Structure 1
């Protein structure tokens, strides 16, 4: 089994590979994204695992770019029927460019940054697999109607659009963020974006926010 590291972009995608035993990432190259699956079909072997950089703003928030990357990763899971691990890629692009420009001119450094970012992303995972986030598909909950509109949804998927459209959503789980974003619903990863008190909180986990009623979903 090997790991395939990707720095995904709408135009270009960098690829690196690494052995599960040696745990050393090596550059495969930079490829046009429109031909990416054709290239990955040449590289992928049964039970290989993809490690993909997840774009996150420096403040820690998800964005449209985050959504596009997760959307691609779900296609990756479906196409290869394998696991996808997401890695916070903050600073990796800047680090790879800074390192490369010390040895190449600016034009060549820019051209090499995608594959170098893939290398950094994969090597970070190989050095510390515990910091990776497994991309898992979560089932939605169907909830009975509520009178309250002062609701927080904490990292779970509520199927009722009339509930989630009138709720604040804390979505640290990438799939949960993707699910709501696809339905044009804004969420946040930060507690500081939320109110201090809610009438109702839907959650699977304990959450340190004041509330009147908390509903644990199982």
Structure 2
């Protein structure tokens, strides 16, 4: 047997073997593959039942008696306001004006004058003049004299402070001094120097002055502050 024949033999044997196996597989029961059928699951959600509201209980309608209706209507009726009567105007009683007693006195005096023939007007004028209050005497202004008309016994110089000098405060103060028995009992500023410190210093000094005078007199005292 040569080599080519041997190959042919093995090819035929292999083919037959494959064919036999294939036929065996096909002819086996249940050999065919069936497709897997997945079961379908159906889920049903149970919905909670809604509670129904209880039906309203019918309320029996009570019919009102006509007598009760009349009573209620009578109570609800608003009482009518009675019109108020206007007060009658009070009539003013006119009283005759009383005559002044002066007029009566004058009338009586006139009658007496016509009978007696005496001058009544002069008497009335005298009575009225006596009853009037006496006017107070008018105060006469006191005369102010100058300083050179009086003799000065004691003269006090005012304090010219360094504070005022540094600020160059200058000026003349005119003071009216009331002198009684030679002493100054009152002092007031007639015209200012323009600086309060200088005015007060001049007042303090003039109040200590002494004059040779027995009565009461008002004198003008000039005080001058000047830097040298």
TM-score range, shorter chain: under 0.3
Higher Rg: 2
Structure with the bigger percentage of strand: 1
The alignment's TM-score, normalised by the length of structure 2, stands at 0.16
